[in-house]
C-alpha cells in the first residue's frame, strides 16, 4: 500500500482575534469497497472514516467521512486565534489506525 502521509498548513504566527485558514490533506487511496483491481478482484473497503482538529486539547472541528469522499481527503476550514498553542490533527482509518500531525502557532 502506498504510504499514508498527512500534511497540514497553518500560519506560524497570527494576531489575537485573527481569522486564519487551516488546510489539511492526507494521502490515502480511500478504497470505497466498490472498485476492482487489475485482476478484476474487488478491493476491500479501506477509508479514512474520521478526522478531528484540536487546539490546546479541545476539539474545534471534526468530520465523519464516507466512501464518497475523494481519495487524498482534503479539508480547509477557518479558526479564530485567541492564544498561542498547538493544533493536533488526527485521521482515523478503518480498523482504528490513527495518523497524527501537530502544528504550533504563536500570537503577537
Contact residues toward another protein (CB under 8 A) are: 19, 32, 34-36, 55, 58-71, 73-80, 82
Query: 2 or 68: whose CB is closer to another protein?
Result: 68
Which contiguous run of DSSP H or E holds residue 24? strand 19-27
- Within 10 Å of residue 74's Cβ, how many Cβ atoms? 12
Q: Is 66 helix (H, G, I), strand (E, B) or coil?
A: coil
Min CB(54)–another protein separation in Å: 10
Min CB(90)–another protein separation in Å: 14
Integer Cα distance of 50 and 64 in angstroms: 5
Query: 12 or 34: whose CB is closer to another protein?
Result: 34
Query: 7 or 35: whose CB is closer to another protein?
Result: 35
Min CB(40)–another protein separation in Å: 10
Cell numbers standing for residue 93: 482509518
What are the two backbone dihedrals, phi and then psi, of residue 74, each rounded to the nearest 5 degrees? -125, 135
Amino acid at each position: 500500500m502506498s504510504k499514508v502521509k498527512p500534511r497540514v498548513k497553518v500560519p506560524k504566527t497570527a494576531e489575537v482575534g485573527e481569522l486564519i485558514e487551516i488546510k489539511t490533506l492526507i494521502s490515502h487511496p480511500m478504497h470505497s469497497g466498490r472498485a476492482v483491481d487489475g485482476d478484476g478482484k474487488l478491493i476491500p473497503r479501506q477509508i479514512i472514516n474520521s478526522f478531528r482538529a484540536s487546539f490546546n486539547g479541545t476539539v474545534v472541528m471534526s468530520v465523519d467521512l464516507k466512501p464518497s469522499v475523494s481519495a487524498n481527503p482534503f479539508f480547509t476550514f477557518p479558526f479564530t486565534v485567541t492564544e498561542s498553542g498547538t493544533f493536533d490533527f488526527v485521521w482515523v482509518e478503518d480498523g482504528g489506525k490513527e495518523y497524527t500531525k501537530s502544528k504550533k502557532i504563536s500570537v503577537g
